[in-house]
Structure 1
Amino acid sequence: MALAATLVLIAFGAVVFHFASPWQQLPIASNWHAMDDALWLTFVMTGVAFVVLHLFMAFALVRYRHRAGHRASPEHGNRRLEWWLIAVTTVAIIGLLAPGLTVYAQLIDPPAGAQVFEVMGRQWQWHYRLPGRDGRLGMADARFITGANPFGIDPQDAHGQDDVLVQGQELHLPLDRPALARLRAQDVLHDFYVPQFRARMNMVPGMTTQFWFTPERTGRYEVLCAQLCGVGHSNMRSWVVIDEPRAYAGWLAQQPTFGGAGPSGSSGAAGTSVTAGVPGGPAEPGKLGRLLAQQKGCIACHSLDGSRGVGPSWKGLYGSTEALEGGGTAKVDDAYLRQAINAPQASIVRGYPPVMPPAGLSDAELAAVVDYIKTVR
């Protein structure tokens, strides 16, 4: 009897917890209300099954409990019960699968005129690319991928020269305009996910996947990786900012292009890296290193304000002394930073996990990033 009462309390408590729980969905910010409808249908069907099964087990424990003078008798086969179970199970499976398949078919079928943006996932950072003035993304291939060309854009493709390479880990999109996300992975399986948009998609190395959504609310929304992609998975985050059209146009005008000219047509130094497209070039101290640090995703793990991150903060780092795992200390100078960036496992700072991969920067890029770290005071 105690076990039967426990099963009834579990069923009742699960229902109460579901409605009273503080952990609810974030407010939706896109057109995918059908996702919420499908999710709620799943909750209802699985919730009803959960409660019914627990109550049935409680009933069976009470009804068929051991009693003196009673002896169980075997019964083989019950076709009527079997057909009922087959019918109910079939209807339930169709009810669970049909809404999801219908919504998924719509999710990967974008409307005409949707604004395209490309996402490249790599351990453990995001890169974003937008079409330039010609409205087309340039061709890309893995053999062209370098530290300064994470998308592998073909430098001989004219359509790629005006592609907009987003600086940093913050992508902007205009309000109320369908957006088509084209997704690629450079190394392992990733998943581009913004909870408020109710849309996500796996990113598989060697192929391009896609989904679309229409932002319906302005705001700043966090991007997560929804696949366990390695030890730094939890830090693979960035932001999508939804702007009014005028604000979006202003942000877009500030982004560099692959070929070295601003999106509005302003000229810059020729080149094929994100740093080449900055109008006026890297005139201020550390500017080139700052752009490289944003592009490589360094800022996702190393804060600039002294706050603790996955790795040590860069604020006041240069010239300080770091305690190392296993004992000993190290003076943070040019040589130490060069080694920490390109061979991070050589010396691990005490209290931080050994999750940073080698950055693979060239000597010139290393010098630029080190110069930038010197300016973070």
Structure 2
Amino acid sequence: MKLAIALVLLVIATLLFHWLSPWWFTPLASNWGAVDTTVDITLYITGFVFVAVNLFMAYAIFRYRHDPSRRAHYEPENKKLEIWLTGITAVGVVAMLAPGLIVWADFIDPPEDADIVEVVGEQWQWSYRFPGEDGVLGKVDSRHVGPDNPFGMAPDDAAGRDDVLVRNKDLHLPIDRPVKVLLRSKDVLHDFAVPQFRVKMDLIPGTVTYLWFTPTRTGNFDILCMELCGIAHYAMRGQVIVNTGDDFNAWLAEQPTWEMMQGRIAGDPSIGEGQYAVCSACHGAMGEGNVALNAPALAGLQGWYLERQLQYYKDGVRGSHKDDIYGQQMAPMAAMLADDDAVRHMVAYIESLPAVDMQSSLLGNVAKGADHYVTCGACHGGEAQGNYALQAPKLSGQHDWYLKRQLANFRSGIRGAHKKDNYGNQMVLMSRALHNEQSVNDLLAYLNTM
């Protein structure tokens, strides 16, 4: 009797949870209302079966409960009942699968006039490529990927010269225009998903998959990676920003093409040396850093990382937080570099400076620090040498007091909170894995051994 009551209460509680729960689909923002309908059909069928089976079990337990005056009837087979149950089950399965197959047939058949955009996934960022005026995307190959060619564009393919390259986690699209999304991975399995659009698809290394949809309302919508792609999988996020047609065209016109990227001049260390004279007042003549002036070492850092940070200062991504005292000092200094060419000249000179030996200023447990570094090493390398593929800078050869301050800034949101700081956003989450100051000191003590 108690078990029968428990089953009835389970059914009632489940129905109440379903109807009263705040956890439901996000509001639809695309043409894929059929996906919601398919899910609803599946839910209603399985829900009906769940209620029917559990109530029947409760009835059977109550109706055929133990009674010493009755004797059970043994019936090993009932073909008629088995035929009915098999038939009903088959109808139910078909009713669940058929709508999904119909929707899938539409899902893999994009309109011929659909716009094209390529989504590129990598640990742990999204980037995007649009065809230029010729309407054709150029050839790509992972063998071409490097600091000056992050998309792996084929250098000799004329069709790719006007491709628009967006090295940012946010994807802009126009409203009410169908778009076919080509999906490419540079490293491991990823999965591109936008819950509000009801679309998701795996990115498989070595091939190109696709999906399509039509945004039906303006706004910002979450991009998630729904494939466990590594240690920072949960931080691999972005947004689809749906604009009006005019706003989208204006944004697209501001993005660089592959031809523009190829046309950038290489940095000249001889020009950069003259520009560095101002920097040397704080960072030292050889880029060795200066603790008295809170200036970190620059010598030994990778050029791509230096270039990104200088651009962040110029754009206000770094140095704009009210509590970032030293960043606020650095921002106007970076602004003295008039354009991208000036930044590259400066970086070229800093890259030519020899790395310097650092003196430890913190005490910590090296063995515990090595355990903490296992997580960090997944991006920054086993010897803290940095990793371009993961956009993780070199940590070895840097002042421990500076690294400690940056970890504190990440942990408190002083650094990495800006919406355009794609990689800083991830570091905010990763830095909070260090629970206290002693953990930070232990980690830095280990880094000092490298």
TM-score above 0.5, yes or no: yes
The residue identity in structure 1 corresponding to 2:379 is P
* Alignment partner, residue 191 of structure 1: 191
Instruction: Say if 2:319 and 2:327, in contact at 8 Å, map to a contact too.
Output: no
Partners of 1:144 and 1:293 in 2: CA distance: 24
Could you say what the CA RMSD is over the residues aligned between the two structures, in angstroms?
3.8
Partners of 1:290 and 1:168 in 2: CA distance: 18
Partners of 2:310 and 2:99 in 1: CA distance: 40
- Cα displacement (A) at 1:70: 2.1
- Cα displacement (A) at 1:245: 0.7
Partners of 1:191 and 1:50 in 2: CA distance: 31
- Cα displacement (A) at 1:201: 0.8
* Alignment partner, residue 361 of structure 1: 388
Instruction: Say if 2:318 and 2:327, in contact at 8 Å, map to a contact too.
Output: no
- Cα displacement (A) at 1:40: 0.7
The residue identity in structure 1 corresponding to 2:59 is F
Change (3 A) 1:237 1:294: farther
The residue identity in structure 1 corresponding to 2:5 is A
The residue identity in structure 2 corresponding to 1:238 is G
The residue identity in structure 1 corresponding to 2:22 is P
Partners of 2:120 and 2:325 in 1: CA distance: 28
Change (3 A) 1:244 1:291: farther
Partners of 1:243 and 1:195 in 2: CA distance: 18
* Alignment partner, residue 7 of structure 1: 7
Equivalent position SS for 2:30? coil
**2:249 corresponds to 1:222:** no
* Alignment partner, residue 143 of structure 1: 143
**2:264 corresponds to 1:269:** yes
Change (3 A) 1:238 1:335: farther
* Alignment partner, residue 56 of structure 1: 56
Change (3 A) 1:165 1:197: same
Which structure's CA Rg is the greater one? Answer: 2
Equivalent position SS for 1:47? helix
Instruction: Say if 1:140 and 1:154, in contact at 8 Å, map to a contact too.
Output: yes
- Cα displacement (A) at 1:147: 4.0
The residue identity in structure 1 corresponding to 2:264 is A
- Cα displacement (A) at 1:124: 1.3
* Alignment partner, residue 178 of structure 2: 178
* Alignment partner, residue 90 of structure 1: 90
The residue identity in structure 2 corresponding to 1:357 is C
The residue identity in structure 2 corresponding to 1:269 is R
Instruction: Say if 1:168 and 1:294, in contact at 8 Å, map to a contact too.
Output: no
* Alignment partner, residue 280 of structure 1: none
Q: Give 1:294-309 correspondences, 5 Å limit.
A: none
**1:68-118, Cα deviation, whole Å (9 max, x unpaired):** 122223212111111111111111111111111111111111101111111
Partners of 1:303 and 1:225 in 2: CA distance: 26
**2:69 corresponds to 1:65:** no
Equivalent position SS for 2:376? coil
Partners of 2:325 and 2:117 in 1: CA distance: 33
Partners of 2:228 and 2:200 in 1: CA distance: 14
Equivalent position SS for 1:177? coil
Partners of 2:49 and 2:318 in 1: CA distance: 48
- Which consecutive unaligned segments of at least 5 residues does structure 2 have? 267-278, 280-302, 312-316, 330-354, 359-367, 381-385, 399-405, 407-414, 417-450
**1:16-73, Cα deviation, whole Å (9 max, x unpaired):** 1111001111110000110111011111011111111111111121122111122223
Partners of 1:335 and 1:37 in 2: CA distance: 64
- Which consecutive unaligned segments of at least 5 residues does structure 1 have? 262-266, 272-284, 296-301, 308-312, 320-333, 338-345
- Cα displacement (A) at 1:212: 0.4
Identity of aligned residues (%): 42
- Cα displacement (A) at 1:142: 2.3
* Alignment partner, residue 427 of structure 2: none
Equivalent position SS for 1:46? helix
Partners of 2:74 and 2:318 in 1: CA distance: 70
- Cα displacement (A) at 1:270: 6.0
* Alignment partner, residue 153 of structure 1: 153
Q: Give 1:105-254 correspondences, 5 Å limit.
A: 105-254=105-254
Instruction: Say if 2:121 and 2:186, in contact at 8 Å, map to a contact too.
Output: yes
More helix by share: 2
- Cα displacement (A) at 1:205: 1.2
Instruction: Say if 1:183 and 1:208, in contact at 8 Å, map to a contact too.
Output: yes
Partners of 1:55 and 1:127 in 2: CA distance: 52
Change (3 A) 1:31 1:232: same
**2:32 corresponds to 1:35:** no
Change (3 A) 1:119 1:56: same
**1:183-219, Cα deviation, whole Å (9 max, x unpaired):** 0122222110011101111111111110100000000
Instruction: Say if 2:124 and 2:236, in contact at 8 Å, map to a contact too.
Output: yes
Partners of 1:4 and 1:335 in 2: CA distance: 76
* Alignment partner, residue 272 of structure 2: none
Instruction: Say if 1:305 and 1:315, in contact at 8 Å, map to a contact too.
Output: no
Partners of 1:303 and 1:5 in 2: CA distance: 62
